[in-house]
Structure 1
Amino acid sequence: MKTVKIAGVPEHFNLPWHLCIENSEFDQVGIDLQWTDVPEGTGKMCQMLRNAETDIAVILTEGIIKDIAAGNDSTIIQVYVQSPLIWGIHVDARSEFNQLTELKNSTAAISRIGSGSHLMSYINAQQQNWETSNLNFEIVNTIDGAVDALQNSKADYFMWEKFMTKPLVDNGIFRKIADCPTPWPCFVIAVRNSFLKENESTIELILDIINNTTIEFKDIPSIDRTLASRYNQKLEDIQDWLKITRWSQKKLDKKTFDKVQDQLFELNLIEHKILFDTVVK
């Protein structure tokens, strides 16, 4: 049995992995796929890849491209979710902020530097024509940390996937004032190069299994109810999310890679550009 460590966020996007593990699909081909939930998100997973704490990460596209440009010795082997991530822009329910324009020069809660919440704060600021050099951040690690930061005025707003954050909105803890979709596919699968070099056939088997599941995922009987139950979501919210979410079984294309990298470079989030062929296999 080959042990493989994989990390991802504890969100509805990753249920296909858990179903495959629970159904022993990896076990049947001699792979002990050990999943680690990472509530801190992409910044933490980048660190885990660098430190060989995980072999594979299901990770935000912009975050891993930024970290590979900064020296993370990993490869993007496939797009996992083709559709954009819909980032909700949230404030404390009692906040005086009511419109996105009012958040200019305020403080964003982020899970950590290099995380999606960090990078998307820049994307949002650029779209609003704000001066990105004026952005202020409060590192909160997790969504629970963001609740504390907003309630205690350590930060003014928090960007996170809008469906996973919606229970906090429904419960009167957060108030969502805008959406900010990623301008590209949201999740990719990345592998440490040292692991990939020695285990290409194992990686291919893993991709075959997960891709067969994501192709049929929306057709699984009562999958909406399963998702709602597991991730503390209202059924109608999960149904709306399923309508707009598209999994992928394809490689990341150069056009998309260039779009992400060009925007990171324009925002001074990477110091130099890297070659597509050195990052994507």
Structure 2
Amino acid sequence: MTSPLRVGYVPEHFQSPLLQLAERDNGNTFVLVPCPSGTGQIMAAFANGEIDVSIALTESLLAGITKGQDSFKFIGTYIESPLNWAVITGANAPYNSIADLEGTRFGISRAGSGSEVMANVMALEQQWKKPPTFQINDNFAKLRQSVNDGDTSAFMWEWFTTLPYVKSGEVKFIGNQLTPWPSWSIVAGVTVDAAKLTTFVDSLDHAVRRFDQGRQSGEAVEFVHKTFGYDKEDVQKWIQGVTYSQQHLSTVKKSVITHTLDTLVNAHVIDQRDWDMHTYINTNVAKLE
């Protein structure tokens, strides 16, 4: 009997179609492997042979491959819309705007994570002369504690995930940063059978279309509300702003890859400019456009 795929994922609302698919699949073709620390943890899991496929942040995955991680490649696009990164500081911290954070120490989940990459992208867009420094805090709870203890000035995390903690007054929101590229991509281990991956992506594509249909009926809002505990009004706002890939999920656009890589070079995240698409994309599964 063929063993099920091990799917690493960040347990957040973006993964709702995947979670719904997992309920229907019941472990027959894949099992979920939670990676709550984010894309940095997912890349480590690939390197350690702990997962076969994952949905993670586009920019961190590309940076990881460029820096030499060869255990996974892109096989699809999950979400086309940007990710809205909230810039969060301590409830009583002296920082009141993004400009106040120049040259300070940011908390990040792991080296190479989206929280680190996007801080560098933000520094580029803000034209800071003094770049941020970083402290690894592992997970979301420790990041919140760190800004309130004063160990770090701020951290960056997805807006709707941070919203309940902003509402409660535990932390303070001082600005946001959008990714200038599609936010979530699908990647898989380089040794995983292409036919199994194609079947999985086809099933996930169907799950995404089903979730999108549920936007009109209210089923999608109800699922996210019950699963993650967010206020229905907040879920509705999130759903209105997110766009899952409008093409089949196996489609990867070369222009997206090169634009993201060029931005990462300019933000001093990576230093290479000679992009070979086959280094990044498994064309046995993905449709490169």
Question: In the aligned structure 2, how far is the partner of 1:114 from the partner of 1:131?
Answer: 22
Offset, 1:36 = 1.1
Question: In the aligned structure 2, how far is the partner of 1:250 from the partner of 1:125?
Answer: 32
Offset, 1:25 = 7.1
Kindly report the root-mean-square deviation, in angstroms, between the aligned alpha carbons of the 2 structures: 1.4
**Gap regions ≥5 residues in structure 2:** 284-289
Secondary structure of the 1:194 match is coil
Post-superposition CA distance 1:228-281 (Å, at most 9, x none): 221121111110000011111252211110111111122332232431133122
Question: In the aligned structure 1, how far is the partner of 2:18 from the partner of 2:27?
Answer: 10
State the TM-score, normalized to the length of structure 1.
0.93
Question: In the aligned structure 2, how far is the partner of 1:62 from the partner of 1:191?
Answer: 16
State the TM-score, normalized to the length of structure 2.
0.91
Could you tell me which of 111, 114, 118 is aligned with 1:113?
Answer: 111
Mapped contact 2:74–2:280 kept (Cα < 8 A): yes
Question: In the aligned structure 1, how far is the partner of 2:27 from the partner of 2:198?
Answer: 12
1:14 aligns with 2:8: no
* Letter in structure 2 aligned against 1:4: L
Q: Which residue does 1:255 correspond to in 2? A: 255
Q: Which residue does 2:203 correspond to in 1? A: 209
Offset, 1:129 = 0.6
Offset, 1:38 = 0.8
Question: In the aligned structure 1, how far is the partner of 2:147 from the partner of 2:51?
Answer: 32
Could you tell me which of 156, 170, 177 is aligned with 1:159?
Answer: 156
Post-superposition CA distance 1:139-194 (Å, at most 9, x none): 11111011110111000111000001101101111111111010000010111111
How many residues are treated as equivalent by the alignment?
273
Post-superposition CA distance 1:199-234 (Å, at most 9, x none): 111111101111011022132242202202211211
Mapped contact 1:78–1:251 kept (Cα < 8 A): yes
* Letter in structure 2 aligned against 1:238: V
Question: In the aligned structure 1, how far is the partner of 2:46 from the partner of 2:232?
Answer: 35
* Letter in structure 1 aligned against 2:167: D
Out of 246-255 and 54-63, give the one that drifted further.
Answer: 246-255
Q: Which residue does 1:277 correspond to in 2? A: 278
1:170 aligns with 2:164: no
Question: In the aligned structure 1, how far is the partner of 2:165 from the partner of 2:120?
Answer: 24
Post-superposition CA distance 1:67-102 (Å, at most 9, x none): 111222221000111111000001111112111111
Question: In the aligned structure 1, how far is the partner of 2:265 from the partner of 2:118?
Answer: 14
Secondary structure of the 2:204 match is helix
**Gap regions ≥5 residues in structure 1:** none
Mapped contact 2:201–2:250 kept (Cα < 8 A): no
* Letter in structure 1 aligned against 2:12: E
Post-superposition CA distance 1:6-62 (Å, at most 9, x none): 1011100111111111112773xxx2x111111110111111111111111211001
Q: Which residue does 1:87 correspond to in 2? A: 85
Secondary structure of the 1:183 match is coil
Mapped contact 1:26–1:206 kept (Cα < 8 A): no
Identity %: 25
Alignment of 1:167-246 (within 5 A): 167-195=164-192, 199-220=193-214, 221=217, 222-246=219-243
